[in-house]
Structure 1
Amino acid sequence: MSDLLRRLRGRGWRLTSQRRVVAEVLDGDHVHLTADEVHLRAAARLPEISRATVYNTLGELVTLGEVLEVSTVGRAKRYDPNARRPHQHLVCSGCGTVRDVHPVGDALGDLP
């Protein structure tokens, strides 16, 4: 079970099959998917999941503070499951790719 699913269960969030598959799709440190990308991946695992369910679940996860909503100019919002560690986002103006950028102090702490 992923960290996200464990946290949600610990908060008493009802883990329906639809909610579970959305959380599983978002699992990972460097995932910044649009709602449509989440729906596409979720539907590959659970064909009956609706786009509305994905949007509603993402909204709930954002409200709970478990997922960050990343707004980009002229592009679809992206969803970042890395809500626990403070960071910024670098957005490529060409392709729209979103990358996490951690404070320099974090990077320096990893040096020998």
Structure 2
Amino acid sequence: MPTISECQQLLRGASLRVTRPRVAVLSAVHDHPHADTDSIIRAVRSDLPEVSHQTVYDSLNALTAVGLVRRIQPSGSVARYESRVGDNHHHVVCRACGVIADVDCAIGEAPCLTASDGRGFSIDEAEVIYWGLCPDCVRSQTARSHP
């Protein structure tokens, strides 16, 4: 988890103006990986109660545009944000409770999946989402089926 000073340095390094809302949003994303926008707004408002929804949305868009934050949106889910960027990792999503976890690339470096036919594209990222049940939901399901 970066300090406020480190968040400020990250913003400057990305040529973004350092503002309290941007620092708070970046910090909230670091503190709450895979959080949705409403969760980030709640986290930011714990430090900056007056911040508007629009300011948080604008900050998330700016942070995503410069690569400090990654936006993911598994099928059927709202957008979520994470601070783990630049390593082309993937995600696993629980079908029951919706929890999301990071999964490292299975093969090699980015892109870890080589397209069988790239159609002339210069591919620099592969996105894979694995679906299943998290350990807690598996235990819960097993307990229900074996009373």
Same fold (TM over 0.5): yes
RMSD (Å), alpha carbons: 2.0
What is the CA distance between 1:100 and its match in structure 2? Answer: 0.6
Query: Is 2:27 aligned against 1:13?
Result: no
Distance 2:90 2:77 in 1: 18
Q: How many residue pairs get matched?
A: 105
**Alpha-carbon distance between aligned partners in 1 of 2:56 and 2:13, rounded to the nearest angstrom:** 21
- Per the alignment, residue 110 of structure 1 pairs with none
Which amino acid counterpart does residue 99 of structure 2 have in structure 1?
A: T
Larger Rg: 2
The structure whose residues are more often helix, as a share, is 1
| Percentage identity across paired residues of the two chains | 30
**Structure 1 runs not aligned, ≥5 long:** 107-112
Please give the alpha-carbon distance, in whole angstroms, between the structure 2 residues aligned to 1:26 and 1:71: 15
Amino acid at match of 1:97: V
Greater RCO, CA 8 A, separation 6+: 1
1:97 aligns with 2:85: no
Q: Structure 1 residue aligned with 2:42, among 35, 40, 43?
A: 40
- In 2, the alpha carbon distance for the partners of 1:4 and 1:42 equals 14
Aligned residue in 1 for 2:111: none
Gaps of 5+ in 2: 109-147
The equivalent residue for 1:72 is 74
The answer for the alignment partner of 1:52 in structure 2 is 54
8 Å CA contact 1:5–1:23 kept in 2: the answer is no
Change (3 A) 1:71 1:45: same
State the 1:15 CA deviation.
1.1
Counterpart in the other structure of 1:23: 26
- 2-side partners of 1:5 and 1:94: how far apart? 38
**Deviations along 1:61-93, whole A, 9 cap, x unmatched?**
111122111112222110011013220011111
* One-letter amino acid of the structure 2 residue matched with residue 24 of structure 1: S
In the alignment, the residues of structure 2 paired with residue 103 and residue 69 of structure 1 have an alpha-carbon distance, to the nearest angstrom, of 18
